[in-house]
Chains A and B, each alone.
Chain A
């Protein structure tokens, strides 16, 4: 079979060129993010994806750049959620859940390390009875001013 690429008489073969290797560059990438029309694989495959057999080998670093931003976002969110959970859960292991006298402030603990003091915030107490009556400006003896 004639090789169309064999060229005409005016073509000059460069030293080292070996037709027998059958190498045909599939595409010359104009830039990294260019996706050729019709995709990269056999007909019906569409753009390269994780199921395309040649994807990993052919894409390389370039394919990593094209990794879905949604995937990255999901990873970040997952790490954040895990961090938040651990930050919340670890101090809770040291707190008291009792309702007896001083239960809330017992939860507060100071941990001292060389050169550093870390104070854990106590859990907020549960207070049922009103602590103040607001009913206008009741007068009391002494002092001055006020509405």
Chain B
């Protein structure tokens, strides 16, 4: 893969330009840009659809950022946090994002809990990750468990937040963003086709490796590389106080696997990314709501495919936290998953292919849908 250096205008007011990326196939078009604290990638075919779909993806990502980022003072969710406990009329987009986060909490029995924002802040993850203090001398403060996700109520567009709760939608929001962007881009491509433009074809949107697809995939499915970037752990452990956290990504070829995805979404959660030091201890961003501390289970990286990227995102996060119970829970859900242990052990569930280039077939039916109906009324 190589960047061509070609900058693509994404429209006026866009904070980051897209860069065209070559992937060795003339029949698809790929572009990257920074977004939501990670890298957004848009892959489309036929390739002539790319220019007009960039603006569509930009719009979806900007909306999500304005609605659900706790790192922006002017976001809707930050306004709620600043206002404190109470009931608020919220936008369609934030209602959807909170509804999915609460549904994920219900589905995962509280493991993917959107009320862990307070714990993340107390551990030092209180700003955009690129600006985080890389090494804090003070030990993590003792934390009470807080009211938990059940204390947050969502009834239509009325969101009730109790005192002391900071919502962090990280377990689902990035997946939701990928889902929204892929759907909107495909709809735009299809609409363009109806007006005589290039036919809808297929769309893939990745936010930091969390992938949503829409439309028709390439023959055999979208080829994806499942990687494990655990070398970053060593880099952080060797980090001297005052240094910068490395953001370069190191894939371990020993555990990498190429797969294909034809529908739904796929997400990977890992404790080896987004790390920082606190009193000499390696912190990471996946918080066990039962302890208020970074999850300490046997799995360092979990990839899950599901009916949507938001669902895959929630499941991969929950599996890291579930620890010893992760394989059983994923199997019960019928979700294809690949788990890599700290010792390099690999476990597969739900028909995840054992062969290189195998097709991952996520369930067609959403596991979150029933939970969403329960928590959002």
Contacts and interface: CB of A to CB of B under 8 A. Distances in A.
Contact of A138 (B25, B204, B208): B208
A134 B249 contact: no
Given A134-B267, A140-B37, A140-B130, A129 B23 contact: yes
A61 interface: no
Contacts, number: 233
B273 interface: yes
Contact of A145 (B15, B25, B47, B173): B173
Interface in A55-102: 100-102
B337 interface: no
B20 interface: no
A136 B34 CA distance: 16
B206 A132 contact: yes
B45 A139 contact: no
A122 B199 CA distance: 7
A135 B301 contact: yes
B8 to A, nearest CB: 17
Contacts of A114: none
B272 interface: yes
B223 A130 contact: yes
A119 B227 CA distance: 39
Contacts of A122: 45-46, 198-199, 201
* Binding site secondary structure of chain A: loop
Interface stretch (B64-72, B139-147, B149-157): B64-72
Interface residues on A, range: 35 or more
Given A128-B25, A130-B223, A146-B170, A119 B39 contact: no
A147 B130 CA distance: 14
Contact of B46 (A101, A108, A146): A108
Contacts of A129: 1, 23-25, 223
Given A127-B223, A130-B225, A139-B37, A105 B46 contact: yes
Given A104-B46, A131-B43, A135-B228, A144 B204 contact: no
Given A104-B46, A129-B24, A119 B199 contact: yes
Contacts of B373: none
A102 B38 contact: no
B372 interface: no
Interface string A107-138: 01010100001011110111111111111111
Contacts of A126: 25, 27, 218-220
B169 to A, nearest CB: 7
Which 8 pairs from chain A and chain B are nearest by CB? A136-B270, A144-B71, A125-B27, A135-B227, A105-B46, A134-B209, A130-B225, A136-B273
8 contacts: A121-B216, A122-B46, A125-B25, A127-B25, A131-B30, A135-B268, A142-B37, A147-B172
Given A125-B25, A134-B227, A136-B208, 6 more contacts: A117-B195, A119-B194, A133-B251, A134-B211, A142-B16, A145-B71
